[in-house]
A = this chain, B = another copy of it.
Amino acid sequence: MSRKKAGSTGLRSAQQSETPLGLKQLADYLGFAPATVSLVLNGSAVADTISTETKKLIRDAAKKFNYRPNFFARCLRTKRSFTIGVMVSEVSEGYNATVLSGIEDHLLQEGYFYFVASHRFKQDLIDEYPQLFLHRSVDGLIVVNTPWHLDLPVPVVTVSSHHTVKGVTSIVLDHYRAAEVALRHLVDLGHRKIAFIKGQAFVPDTDVRWNSILGAAAQMELSIDEKLVLQIADNSPTPQPGYVLTQKLLASGEKFTALFAFNDISAMGAIRALHEAGLRVPEDISVVGFDDIESAAYQSPGLTTVHQPLRKMGRMAAETVLRCIMRPTEKSDASPKITVEAELIVRGTTAVARQHAARRKNVPSRSAESRIASD
């Protein structure tokens, strides 16, 4: 327990005292006017004519006293807050949490902070939060996985909101390719009778993804049996709806050899229902999830799923919104849609279809088993 004495801990300025001194004090100390100090410290163009000596003096003193301009005073003048509002459906849920992590990476690195608000798909909150953000003078907004129609006076970037709104850039997955690669995998394994769990009607990805699945299936001449198509209705970010739906499907007696879930969460619910019905995954039924949230890799066996580069999508959203803030004029220039690619992560929940499997045990390779996509 040999803690160094306070002051020697690398914080050079012992002036780390209670007084967060202001521009005025600093100027007085230096014998210059506040304006001069401000000009120099902000590297303003007007400061070009100020003598090098003076500049050095000012900068040194600023460093010595660890001067930081009052944040609010500065915001009040410059009308910039270096803060971004982020609206998600629920912070604690894997999809949003990962996107958020990507957003944070970039924003903090660039000196921005962000507010988070979770609406849990309540319409009144979806309407209210953007106003609250604006009232806090955020410089921009990132909207994740949320229906969006507004045209606000600040840059807005959406992630997985499939609406074309004037002036807002949206970051979306190439859902068609995603559907294609997942279905191709199942079809290659011999699956023909595939069950589907669709997302909730109010989740923006739902329609786009389903249409992509329909398109891809048509392309590869795979027929989709309507009786094997289920849709989640609950507004619950848990596996419960997928669990219940799968139980119903099993009770209906319809035959299927594979299940393609709307997301990993519902896939996990489905797997539990299958297990409880005495079916093995993947030996009896193959299951494919979507998103590749962190816990998908944590399952035993690991969940085969369509990886969305969530962290990257978050980072791109942050990059884009900051870019728009920097040059607010050329709004039209910004391509209104940025598409990222999905990737199929084959882990342990898919195998050759039962009727085709020559009774051989399908042991997924260890490396595939524990594979974790690194974005």
Q: Which residues of A contact B (CB under 8 A)?
A: 6, 9-11, 18, 68, 70-73, 75-76, 81, 83, 90-94, 97-98, 100-101, 104, 108, 113-118, 127, 132, 135-137, 149, 153, 238-240, 243, 265, 268-269, 271-272, 275-276, 294-295, 297-302, 311, 366, 369-370, 372
List, in ascending order, chain B residues with CB within 8 A of A275's CB. 300-301
The smallest beta-carbon distance between A110 and chain B, in angstroms, is 13
List, in ascending order, chain B residues with CB within 8 A of A115's CB. 83, 113-115
The smallest beta-carbon distance between A122 and chain B, in angstroms, is 12
A104 pairs with B118, CB closer than 8 A = yes
List, in ascending order, chain B residues with CB within 8 A of A100's CB. 91-92, 116
For residue A265, which residue of chain B has the nearest CB?
Answer: B298
Docked pose: A268 CA to B91 CA in angstroms: 22
For residue A66, which residue of chain B has the nearest CB?
Answer: B131
Docked pose: A91 CA to B98 CA in angstroms: 8
The smallest beta-carbon distance between A91 and chain B, in angstroms, is 5
Q: 15 pairs across A/B with beta carbons < 8 Å?
A: A9-B149, A11-B127, A71-B137, A72-B72, A72-B76, A83-B115, A91-B97, A91-B100, A92-B98, A92-B101, A116-B116, A239-B298, A240-B372, A272-B302, A295-B295
A372 pairs with B72, CB closer than 8 A = no
Cβ-defined partner of A135 (8 Å) among B11, B71, B118: B71
The smallest beta-carbon distance between A88 and chain B, in angstroms, is 10
List, in ascending order, chain B residues with CB within 8 A of A9's CB. 149
Besides the contacts A71-B137, A113-B115, what 15 more A-B pairs have beta carbons closer than 8 Å? A72-B76, A72-B137, A73-B76, A92-B100, A93-B97, A94-B94, A94-B294, A94-B295, A268-B300, A269-B298, A271-B300, A272-B369, A272-B370, A275-B300, A299-B300
For residue A132, which residue of chain B has the nearest CB?
Answer: B113
List, in ascending order, chain B residues with CB within 8 A of A83's CB. 115
The smallest beta-carbon distance between A23 and chain B, in angstroms, is 13
Given contacts A300-B268, A370-B243, contact A294 B135 (CB under 8 A): no
Docked pose: A50 CA to B221 CA in angstroms: 78
Residue among A98, A136, A269, A300 with the highest chain B CB neighbour number at 10 A: A300
For residue A136, which residue of chain B has the nearest CB?
Answer: B71
List, in ascending order, chain B residues with CB within 8 A of A92's CB. 94, 97-98, 100-101, 294, 311
Docked pose: A269 CA to B295 CA in angstroms: 11
The smallest beta-carbon distance between A37 and chain B, in angstroms, is 18
Cβ-defined partner of A10 (8 Å) among B127, B240, B297: B127
List, in ascending order, chain B residues with CB within 8 A of A239's CB. 297-298
List, in ascending order, chain B residues with CB within 8 A of A372's CB. 238, 240
A18 pairs with B136, CB closer than 8 A = no
Docked pose: A272 CA to B272 CA in angstroms: 17
Docked pose: A272 CA to B371 CA in angstroms: 12
Given contacts A68-B135, A268-B300, A372-B238, contact A18 B98 (CB under 8 A): no
Docked pose: A262 CA to B161 CA in angstroms: 38
Docked pose: A96 CA to B306 CA in angstroms: 25
> What 9 A-B pairs have minimum CB-CB distances, sorted nearest first?
A295-B295, A92-B101, A92-B97, A268-B298, A72-B76, A72-B75, A113-B115, A97-B97, A72-B72
A369 pairs with B276, CB closer than 8 A = yes
List, in ascending order, chain B residues with CB within 8 A of A104's CB. 91, 116-118
The smallest beta-carbon distance between A185 and chain B, in angstroms, is 21
Docked pose: A118 CA to B311 CA in angstroms: 14
Docked pose: A72 CA to B135 CA in angstroms: 10
Residue among A18, A113, A115, A135 with the highest chain B CB neighbour number at 10 A: A113
